[in-house]
């Protein structure tokens, strides 16, 4: 897997302040604020910073939590998991493995056979809909 390094000063000029805060400063967007939360079309969800394909629309489900949720990543090499003990909680942070941008967290409470819920900040994702045949 190819790792890409991005200069935060340069990214600050390319991303919105909210995108930069969440992706590069480990922030969290307000729940139910992303239009991607309600996106139901087939397609692929890419990292907003490096455009790596992270999630398939087939893995997306409505968790009712206010953030786009997926039961698995498109390729396990594209999303890395890290222990996160911030805010007095023990969680698993998910980051783009290509550019190390913060995406959200993964929880062991998903309703599908994977048992996982990747809770991803919508501002971290760029949605590319499937092309009609």
- What are the boundaries of each domain within the chain? 8-129
**Taking the CB of residue 23, how many other CB atoms lie within 10 A of it?**
27
User: Which CATH code of 2.170.150.20, 3.40.50.620, 3.40.718.10, 1.20.1430.10 fits the domain covering 8-129?
Assistant: 2.170.150.20
**In terms of DSSP bridges, do strands 102-107 and 125-129 run parallel, antiparallel, or are they unpaired?**
unpaired
Q: Helix (H, G, I), strand (E, B), or coil: what is residue 119?
A: strand
Q: pLDDT tens per residue, the chain (133 residues)?
A: 567 788 889 899 999 999 999 999 999 999 999 999 999 999 999 999 999 999 999 999 999 999 999 999 999 899 999 988 887 778 899 999 999 999 999 999 999 999 999 999 999 999 999 986 5
Q: Is 110 helix (H, G, I), strand (E, B) or coil?
A: coil
Residue 25 has φ and ψ, to the nearest 5°, of -120, 15
Q: Which of 47, 96, 99, 119 is catalytic?
A: 119
Distance (Å, whole) CA 118 – CA 55: 10
Measured CA to CA in angstroms, residue 105 lies from 5, 58, 60, 119, 129 at distances of: 22, 19, 15, 5, 24
What is the model's pTM? 0.91
Q: Helices H, strands E: what count in the chain?
A: 2, 9
Instruction: Give which of 133, 131, 124, 129 is closest to 44, Cα–Cα.
Output: 129
Active-site residue 65, yes or no? no
């Amino acid at each position: 897997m190819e790792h890409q390094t991005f200069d935060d000063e340069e990214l600050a000029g390319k991303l919105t302040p909210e995108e930069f805060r969440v992706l590069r400063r480990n922030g969290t967007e307000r729940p139910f604020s992303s239009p991607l939360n309600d996106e139901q079309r087939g397609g692929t969800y890419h990292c907003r910073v490096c455009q790596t394909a992270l999630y398939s629309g087939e893995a997306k489900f409505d968790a009712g939590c206010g953030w786009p949720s997926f039961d698995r990543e498109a390729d396990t090499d594209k999303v890395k998991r890290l222990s996160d003990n911030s805010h007095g909680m023990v969680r698993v942070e998910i980051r783009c493995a290509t550019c190390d941008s913060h995406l959200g967290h993964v929880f062991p409470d998903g309703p599908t056979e994977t048992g996982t819920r990747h809770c991803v900040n919508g501002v971290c994702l760029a949605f590319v809909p499937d092309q009609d045949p």
